[in-house]
Chains A and B, each alone.
Chain A
Amino acid sequence: MSLAWKLGVTVVLFAISVTAAIVLIVNLLGTPPVVNFTSPSPGAPVNVRLQTVGSFGSGSHPTWVSYLVRSPQGQWVHTTVFQVPEHTRINVTIDQYDSGSPLRNQQLGQVTGTYGSVASLNGRLFRVINSNAGNGVGHTFSIPSLGVNVPLSGVNGNANLCGAAPCTTSSPHNVIRFSFNSPGPGSYRWQCFVPCGLGFLYGNGGPMSTLGYMGGFLKVVA
């Protein structure tokens, strides 16, 4: 076999190896889509709407609990990654369609990091939720690096809960509203701190540790 042939075989084998590696990396990089809330008018507040659903109802994990994000065009997107401008007021509305339970750590029942350290539940302001009373807390919306934490009061578990995303407002739900200021550019992780991975011991597996379900990124751009 001539040197040219040998070189050719070597290059082909190397190309196959590199392709395999790239396929692996691309597979790993497969992250949820980004919903862009960048405002066309700088400085104007940005309105973000999310919803939580007890079981997504379709896809590879139909039984997993999940967040969804509504795009500026009004479509619900199965993602937990959204982009906002820097140093801007972010008005968040969360439609909470899941039931709740008492918190293991009562500290997470407190609202922190928002404007006035308050949020509203179905139009009524609150600073803290006693999760041992009423329907408890279903999830939290927390951005640890910004100190933001908002408990999401649960829906009555005996009601006819929404079982497949995206849920509509005809299903029983709570509406939680709050605002916070976006920081400088960067990716800021946010997540739910209530162990809600049903079927996983201690509730921390599955959706709790998978991007696109109970955790995501707040991408802040200049």
Chain B
Amino acid sequence: MDNTTRREFLKYGGALGVALGAAGLSSIARAQEALKIGVVYVSPVAEIGWTKQHSLGVDAIKAEFGDKVELTVIDNIFMPQDAERIFRELAASGNRLVFGTSFSHGTPMQKVAPRFPEVAFEHCSGIVHLANLGTFEAKYYEGTFVAGAAGGHMSKSGKLGFIGGFPIPDIVGPANALLLGAQSVNPDATCNAIFLNSWFDPGKEKEAANTLISQGCDVICSMTDTATGVQVAGEKGAWSIGYASDMAKFGSGKQLTAFVLDWTSNYLRAARGVAEGTWKPEARWEGLAAGVVKMAPYNEAIPADVQTKLKQLEADIGGGKLHPYAGELKDQGGNVKVAAGSVLSDNDIRGMNWFVNGMIGKLG
């Protein structure tokens, strides 16, 4: 696998085209039928976090296909204008399957895909589908609901704290589910929410975690791409909930659990589909049942009977017995949004722009 940074990419990219320069030459020597796959990461692969979880999917492809696959990985592409060029070059240089891993890759992929109808495009966290553009996404809210239940059991103050990047449905929804999970154990639980209004600012994230703890929150869930929230909570003796990767080693023993994202099945399914010629664009949106969302090992401090209950909860949500957004759900003003006996529709979940009763914070 060629793990190329954007800077190296630009260096190679000039006249030859990157795939030719960085990967293509070696392919001539190899078997002609090697399946060429291009992957674009939004950030470099760190020890934990969003991109790390995607790299595990890529590793799975490598493990299964071995020599029969030729991977080109370009990392640190966030801006749509950069991404469009990269996607076009990947598609033009013989890759038959191209992955985009960030919401910001959506518009460029939608532009590039129609021009390369023979190339399969897969977009993580995307919403738009085309004849050759499929999407996959995780049901984060299933993970936060279980994590919230763990928090509800362990919290002394009954106050949870949530840190998110921007107040968008993909983050507001999981925040709501976190509190609903906690309320399933402790009906009086509340959750203070802070939005950094930045995708990336570890300093601000630290202050946000400190702020929540100073206001009495004793379970911190940070849905950002660093372990800062887990780290600060650990230092201050508060419980924490990790996101994307298991962040236990950053948490001074205080991480209750983490809702881990495992994209492996999505990567393998797409690669197999393209290799066998059966690939079709799909809109996959999976959670605990498919193992796309997994709970990291529960903290030993959680009593055994509670752990059993949490595992049962995972099974119930995975099996469809329990829906995190089952009624009756009220918003912050006490208005009933979901009547008892019904559940929030998938469309409403993906467009959730309101806080449930008990959330403390204001959405624009």
**A and B part of one assembly:** no
Interface residues of A (CB under 8 A from B): none
